[in-house]
Amino acid sequence: MPRIDTPKGWRFTFPPAALNEPIKDKKVLIIDDGSCTGETLLQMIDTISFLKVSKITVFSIIARLEDFQREFFSRIHQIRADYIKEEAGSHKIEIRMVPIEIFFGVNLHIPNYAARSSCPFCEEKRQLISIRRRAPSPPKSVMKYLTYRLRGLQEYDTAGAPLNDNNDIGEDHKGIYRGSPDYLPVGIDLKKAYLLRDKLGKLETYRLFSDYLNEFQQIAITTDTFEIFMAVLLHEPQLMNSINQFLPELKLELRNVISKIIYSNGLPDIHNRWKKAELLRFHYVINSHEFYKAETLKSIFIYAADDNGALDYLAYILWNDIVNNNTESASQKNLSYLIDEVRTALEETNGQKTYSWNILKEIYKTYDIIKNSSSFEAAFNSVVDFFNKEGILTSDHSQIEKDLIDLLIFLNREATEFDLVEFSKEYRALMNDIRGIIDVFIESFNNNDFLKRNFPRLYSTFFEADNSVCKLFARLDHNFALIQELTGREAHLKDCMLRLRESLVALKVDVISQKGSFAELIRKNERVDLIGTWKKVKDSMLTRINDKNIAIDDSKLLIENKDYVFIFKECLRGIFEELINNALKNENMTCSCNVYKEEGFVIFTIEQNKAFPDDYREGHGIPLIKESAEKFNGRFRMDNLDSAPRFELRLLNRT
């Protein structure tokens, strides 16, 4: 029978008329070598039902259907067949009831994920890729674990070759699939793993036949069976949900074994050479809240001390939990105290700053950044990374552009061919990725009234201009909502599809493109030249400076010394304008400027040789300078206001 490969899978056309006579009143046997979703079975039965047959028998050799699907198929014993016959040059439909029997050889409770949106591996991969976009950026140890884990989630086609669009792990890590993920030891019996996965899959159906539960009562947790459980649960951690609900005693046995391995430094023995990172990951899958006790965490770090891969995994767990506040047993604040306590204990134990100690220092630094919620630095760095990074783990920008193009192609279809469910999944996934990058920055920007108050032009670029990022997102949300409301009303739907397409094109051109206005603005503010900006501001105010007979000695500021700082260029210009305006409150005065570096900061100073007149002691410019500096993790201080005022501006170095 002819079939056509479509974006939704194989589709069968009406059976050719030539088949009518050869199989008239015959018994038909349909053999399907594998049924993953049951769609092919349904289509083949439906196709045969247009022919005049006496009986239909269906045999599916291997099925991966849910229990309710298999049971439903097995209960069907008759089907209506609409036989079309020709009489006197016209078509006549003869309706008959035809006996049907459907048999399944083997039914595996191992699901097939037809769409990325329902695939747990795809979801984990998406989450791992999105982690590096979050603010603040992950430490190096976390990035190393992300590289390792994404390699374990590499996608392959059925021939065993890596998929072409899988660029997240770098070319050096690609290769032909060898039969099992590289995070599982070579000696694991995959046949036993498949059989155990099938047993656990039965629990996922929630058709809790007594046989399903009895199978687990017959399993003794030996070293061999423990390793099989570990292999399956590391591959699909979501299966722990079923064990938690239905097999609490089994969970306790597994937890006891992994605890002995971790806390007894490798005892009892296990047969295969497991990576410590995977043993710790299994421990976290089984009992994550145990990590967040001071003595436990210290013991875990001691266990992992000789294995940088295991320490990288611990860095990932702690960093991810403290950033997202995922911990059940500790708030972010308590977790930070815990990390500091363990860090101190490790320093006392080892007498030196080991890799473990440095990891904890990085995590603790992350908490310090999170506490300073008024800072733009972390959110801004995330957006800069999105546009500028290259190499391993940095394909998200090109992938988002590719996904955007796919959506635009989707919206070119006719309204009658528009699949809202499929489109909505892809649209929401893409917008989550984009807004996960942009929204963190936009929201941190939006929540600071001082920018709106003092730098309206900069604020308008993001929120008020017709082509602002904020208004573009609002148009996208509005047009997407309209499409959902108008499904089935083709005349109006096509118009909404075109409007959403226009908004997505604007998103691609203005926001996502490396050459777009948003990227240009980010790039312009990525590394602001402090001395160059000072010179331009001073030159623009030179006439007023000369009128007041103010001498500004900035000979120590060498223009070739590119001292880059973290602050928006417009804000830095505003600060320098206010500093010069302060000097202009006097006449016949000398100012001297200097720049030096200290502990990650670039420090700009300006000193006057005369005090301010009494009338100018309470000016409004100083609060603006102070607030602007602090919003960008900088500092501003004043000394000697009564004699020779000195102003000091500290800004983060962006070398």
pLDDT band at 391 (very low <50, low <70, confident <90, very high): very low
DSSP 430: H
- Per-residue model confidence as pLDDT tens digits over 268-291: 567 788 999 999 999 999 887 777
**Could you tell me if 141 and 364 are in contact, meaning their C-beta atoms sit under 8 angstroms apart?**
no
CATH, domain 527-652, list 3.40.50.2000, 1.10.10.60, 3.40.50.10860, 3.30.565.10: 3.30.565.10
Q: Among 159-163, 173-177, 257-261, which stretch is predicted with the lowest mean pLDDT?
A: 173-177
- At residue 123, does pLDDT exceed 60? yes
- At residue 375, does pLDDT exceed 80? no
The dihedral through the CA atoms of 422, 426, 427, 429 has a sign that is positive
pLDDT band at 377 (very low <50, low <70, confident <90, very high): low
Element (H, E) at 616: none
Structural domain spans, the chain: 3-107, 184-274, 389-524, 527-652
Dihedral angle computed from the Cα positions of residues 156, 158, 160 and 165, in that order, rounded to the nearest 10 degrees: -30
Q: Among 56-70, 349-363, 405-419, 505-519, which stretch is predicted with the lowest mean pLDDT?
A: 349-363
- At residue 171, does pLDDT exceed 50? no
**Could you tell me if 136 and 381 are in contact, meaning their C-beta atoms sit under 8 angstroms apart?**
yes
**Could you tell me if 593 and 552 are in contact, meaning their C-beta atoms sit under 8 angstroms apart?**
yes
Q: How far apart are CA 596 and CA 603, in angstroms?
A: 5
- At residue 623, does pLDDT exceed 80? no
Q: Among 238-242, 308-312, 327-331, which stretch is predicted with the lowest mean pLDDT?
A: 327-331
Average pLDDT over residues 561-569: 83
Closest CA to 233 of 58, 221, 569: 221
Instruction: Name the most confidently modeled range: 138-142, 234-238, 623-627.
Output: 234-238
- At residue 194, does pLDDT exceed 80? yes
- At residue 444, does pLDDT exceed 90? no
- At residue 570, does pLDDT exceed 70? yes
649: left (phi over 0), alpha (psi -120 to 50) or beta: beta
